[in-house]
Structure 1
Amino acid sequence: MKLSGLGFTIGIGIVLFSILSCSVPQNYSAASAAAKTPDVERVAKVVNSHQDKLQAIFGKHSYQNAMQGDLEFTLYITAEGKVQEVEIKALSGKFYSNFIAELKQEILSWKFRVEDKIIYSFVISFRRN
């Protein structure tokens, strides 16, 4: 019985660490992207223009390792139009860390024309044909 209690304690510790390590960069308002402002529309256009690149990265990685599912991306964009941080969360399926790392590297290179800092989230489904 003590072993299961220890496992539970370790599990809680992992969950707390995960929650604390995924903090939102300071000075961002999650509500800032809620309305369809001109900034949100411009960001959406840039994101849509990069969809093929993200799918190409998936094609390269899924050829090596079978994976598929849905990923949620949250971009923290500075007032200067740079991606300060990108969070990628698997909503379904299985993905490998080297694939996620390459997606992050690609997205961090994106530039946006915005007037204020903004948080923008979107979901992509990755499937092998």
Structure 2
Amino acid sequence: MTQVLTSLVAVIGTLLGATLGYVFQRRNTARSDRQTAALAFSNAITEVIRSQQDWFHRKCEEREGPEHRAARLEGHRLRGVARQTMNGLAFHLPDRELLREADELLRMVSDLHKATDREDLVRRTEAGRHALSAFIQAAATKVR
């Protein structure tokens, strides 16, 4: 009888340990996926800001010149990449408010190249960076 009881306790302990390990691993994986999605979006926004600034500067140097056209194409490409990373956000962090904030942020930084002069570009860039910082803080509270 003692051997049966000992074996039963060992089997139950093994099953309980395996189940708890699975639950904790799944929770950590989900958190890691949320962090990765938020980080990918914030990195994409940073690249959009850089490309929009380049687009503005190339436009000032020679409107419709080859460098301006290349900068414009790169700006469009990176906006597409940022839009794609929003799909990851929607999948891993399906929070309506956070997704709305992400969409507004992308719209804001996508228009940097429309600045009227360098001072306007600086103002728009700072506003975009401030909004990105606010998004990162909001996302950090949702990732945990």
TM-score by length of structure 1 reads 0.34
Question: Hey, which of these two has a bigger chunk of helix by percent?
Answer: 2
TM-score by length of structure 2 reads 0.31
Question: Hey, which of these two has a bigger chunk of strand by percent?
Answer: 1
